[in-house]
Each structure stands twice: as structure tokens, then as C-alpha cells.
Structure 1
Amino acid sequence: MIDGLSLNDDFYSGKITEKYGKGIEKSRDVENYDYFKLTNGIEVAVDKKGKMTRFIITDRGLETAKEIKIGDTKEDIIKAYGDNYYFRIEQGANIIGYVDKERERSLEFWLFDNEVNLYRLDNNLMQ
């Protein structure tokens, strides 16, 4: 859960407007998904059915369930989440990811200079 919201919540249910107000505009238009910036540190991807399928977090005040936040190190992540991660590189970032097969989601930490710059929670059905 991120700031009281969860993956697969209905973006158009009214919960978003109650929490963040009206007039949230698209921040990006990507094939099959619309992105909306809810606050300066929370962006969501919404599929064509209106379900939130990705959270991108850059807010230094928001921690994961295991208390990882922006500015933490690779070592902090591995200490909290364990050694069973995948690694990839994209857009100049070293990315450490964890897959939750039961809940069909993944959590990725994007590291620049060995510090978390953003983290991303995705529905595994997202393409």
C-alpha cells in the first residue's frame, strides 16, 4: 500500500479525488497506460480499465513496508528484503528488484551512486 492506495485500485472511483483533489492531469501518455502525478513524489500508471498498475515513488518521506526509502543504499535494501533479487540496468540506474509471485507484483529500487533514487511497485501483468 502506498499512501493509502493499492495496486489494482480503481483510479476513477472517487478515492483519488477525495485524497488529492480534482484536476489531476496526465503526466505522461504511454501506449496502453496513462500516467498521473498525484503529488510531487507519487506517480501512478493507470491501464485502459482504470486500474492502477504502477506506483513510482520519489517522495523521501514514503517508506516501503520494510522501511526502505529514498536515499537508502543497496546494502540497506538487501538487509531488509534479502538476497533473492534480480538485477538490471536501465536509463543509467542499477535496479534491484523483488518479485512477489503470490500477489503478482514486483518492487524495484532504482539506484544512482548506490542510493535509492526512486522505487517502483508494479502489477506483474503490466507490459
Structure 2
Amino acid sequence: MKKRFGFTILFLIVIGSLYFWGSMKLNFSPRYFYTLVTKDTNLSNENINGLKLHQSMKDDWFIVKYGTEYERKENALFDYYELNDGLMVATQKGNDKIIRISMTTVNTQPLRTNKGIGIGESIDKVKQLYGGSYYTRWEQGSSIIGYVDGKETLEFWYAQNEVDQIRYDVASKN
């Protein structure tokens, strides 16, 4: 009985170690994990096209710029709204505070981060402007580098060294 218990404990330690090592090397940990292990980058002035996290979709500025009628995308956890071609925001269900801002395509009016990064920029330029304190991960077939400020992340999804999606959001455990 003691041997079986000892073997079980050893097995769990080995499996846990392999998971932790694999998540660091292979980048398959949940995004929230990176907020715990990545050195912060100051993102306090960050915005995308003037949009900021925690901003209300009922603010006068928001309504003047984007109106009140936008396409809502169904999702089990969040309410997603397509503001215009390639620009999307998300809120918690039943709330109007923005928790995610993403852009995925080149828009008729160029959308940029606070430091001037838009779709089509080189990932090298991202690293030059935002610095070397980032994490790397892989999701949905895309390579991603992300910057952390507390519980907020700014991610640049890229292929062939070119940014094809930018996602700025509050990192949740979901």
C-alpha cells in the first residue's frame, strides 16, 4: 500500500513537472498564466483608435464615434460587437465596460495602437517599440507575442513576421 501511494505521488510530481516545463517551452499554458510570469510593460496609455479598456460603450465619446447600432456576435462568455470592418470590442455579458479590443484587418481608416502599430507591421517593429519583456505563445495556428501590465495584455498575432491581429484585453482565467 505504501509503495502504491509513493508511486502515485512520484507519478503526479513527474506529470506536473512535465506540464510546467512543456507549458514554458511549448507555450500551451492559458493566457492568464503569462500575466503571472512576465515582467510588466507600462500599457497605461495604450489604446486602439482611441478605445481603452474599461471604457463604457455608453460614453458620449464612444456613441459619437461608433453609434449605438453594431453587429453583436454570439459567444457563451462575452458579448462581442463589431464596430466597423476589422474592429471589435467585447464586454462581460450584460455589462457595457470594454474588456477586449481587437482588430484583424486593414481598415479603410488605419487603426493603430498607442505606439503606432497596425495590421501589416513587422513583428520586429513591435519588439522595437514595446521592448523585450514579452511572452510568446501559439493559438489557432498563429504565433503570438504579448505584453503584460498587471492583468491586462496586449497581444500581437503574426504570420511570416507580419502582424495580422492585435488584441488588447483584460486577462481572465477563462
Q: Which TM bucket (shorter chain)?
A: 0.7 to 0.9
Structure 1 residue 126, shift from structure 2 partner: 6.6
More strand per residue: 1
Q: Does 1:122 align with 2:165?
A: no
Provide the C-alpha distance between the structure 1 equivalents of 2:60 and 2:117, rounded to a whole number of angstroms. 29
Q: 1:74 aligns with which of 123, 143, 156?
A: 123
Unpaired segments ≥5 residues, structure 1: none
Q: Which has the higher contact order (CA 8 A, sep 6+)?
A: 2
| Cα distance in 2, alignment partners of residues 9 and 73 from structure 1 | 29
The CA RMSD over aligned residues, in Å, is: 1.8
**Number of residue-to-residue matches in the alignment:** 124
Q: 1:51 is matched with which residue: 97, 105, 129? A: 97
Distance 1:66 1:3 in 2: 11
* TM-score between the two structures when normalised by the length of structure 1: 0.86
**Structure 1 or 2: larger helix share?**
2
1:33 maps to 78
**Structure 2 length normalisation: TM-score?**
0.64
Runs of 4+ in 1 over 4 A off after TM superposition: none
Question: Unmatched 5+ residue regions in structure 2?
Answer: 1-46
> How far apart, in 1, do the equivalents of 2:78 and 2:112 lie?
25
Q: Pick the aligned partner of 1:17 from 63, 69, 79.
A: 63
Identity level (%): 38
Larger Rg: 2
